[in-house]
Amino acid sequence: MPLFPSSTRDIPQVKAVPRHIAIIMDGNGRWAKHRMLPRAAGHKRGVEIVREAVKACVSRGVEYLTLFAFSSENWRRPEEEVSMLKGLFIMALEREAAKLHRNGIRLRVVGDLAPFGNKITDLVERAEQLTQANNKMTLTIAANYGGRWDLLQAMRRLVESMPEQRGTFTEEQLASCLAMAYAPEPDLFIRTGGEQRISNFLLWQLAYSEFYFTETLWPDFDSAALDRAIASYQRRERRFGRTSEQLESAGRAPPSKRELA
């Protein structure tokens, strides 16, 4: 059984602070271009602002922060940029793992890491092992991640692990094979940089997430910008298919067993 309620099979408990925030960190290239700098400068500044986002999320009580760092489609970029991004990823893993550990943060990396090579897979394995027992917040980096890749690998694993089922598995069984089965579905999805699309991010888990799009470019997305996103989230009514009236009467009545689950 999955650890967390599914938004389509149950009604998740909604808290004022999003339990899980997932972000498409977009706009590094444009940030650099506006300053007549090479794109690499935008990516470097982007890594620095990740630190601020992590700190702010911990201090606001967010339990899971998931950051899209490199999509399965980003290999289509010029080789030079791809290799620069790989270099930055290596540097961040080398420099930040111990700091994350000191701050009680568990690091997970999701995506098909093999094409990045041994150096990255080894660093990821070490950092994940080092931080695995931490419980202040779970930081997930999605690298060479694609929502379709995730669904396919989950289905393959399911079919392999339960051949006798002949494809008759349930939503819960599928969800438990997704790369992020260890986390609840995102409450809040943020995309910086002005584009309004999912770009093959968490296709399954975004089913009932609240979406927040901002023109702010990722390198400018400071803690005040994050607070604006959280404030917007707090003004939403999460109905999960129900009517407003049902929510109002549920607010007056004691929460149902389902909501407490």
Which residue ranges make up the site for Mg ion (CB under 5 A)?
26
Of residues 127 and 142, the one with the C-beta less far from ligand IPE: 142
Mapping DSSP onto H, E and C, the string for the chain reads: CCCCCCCCCCCCCCCCCCCEEEEECCCHHHHHHHCCCCHHHHHHHHHHHHHHHHHHHHHHCCCEEEEEEEECCHHHCCHHHHHHHHHHHHHHHHHHHHHHHHCCEEEEEECCCHHHCHHHHHHHHHHHHHHCCCCCEEEEEEEEECHHHHHHHHHHHHHHHCHHHCCCCCHHHHHCCCCCCCCCCCCEEEECCCCCCCCCCCCCHHHHCEEEECCCCHHHCCHHHHHHHHHHHHCCCCCCCCCHHHHHHHHHCCCCHHHHC
The verdict on whether 118 is a catalytic residue reads: no
| Catalytic residue of the set 10, 74, 112, 220 | 74
First to last CA, the chain: 13
Min dist. Cβ of residue 116 to ligand IPE (A): 13
174 binds, among ligand IPE, Mg ion, none (CB under 5 to 8 A by kind): none
* Chosen residue from 134, 153, 170, 199 binding ligand IPE by CB under 6 A: 199
85 binds, among ligand IPE, Mg ion, none (CB under 5 to 8 A by kind): ligand IPE
Lay out the site mask for ligand IPE across 24-63 (x = CB under 6 A, - = otherwise): xxxxxxx---------------------------------
* Residue of closest CB approach to Mg ion: 26
What are the Cα distances from residue 178, in Å, to 101, 167, 196?
25, 16, 24
Q: How many residues bind ligand IPE (CB under 6 A)?
A: 18
In the list ligand IPE, Mg ion, none, the entry touching 44 (Cβ below 5 to 8 angstroms by class) is: none
Q: Is 71 an interacting residue with respect to ligand IPE (CB under 6 A)?
A: yes
The active-site residue, picked from 26, 28, 144, 187, is 26
Among 102, 197, 239, 242, binds ligand IPE (CB under 6 A): 197
Is 74 one of the catalytic residues? yes
**Which among Mg ion, ligand IPE, none contacts residue 170 (Cβ within 5 to 8 A by kind)?**
none
For the annotated catalytic residues, the residue numbers are: 26, 74
Binding site for ligand IPE (CB under 6 A): 24-30, 68-71, 73-74, 85, 193, 195, 197, 199
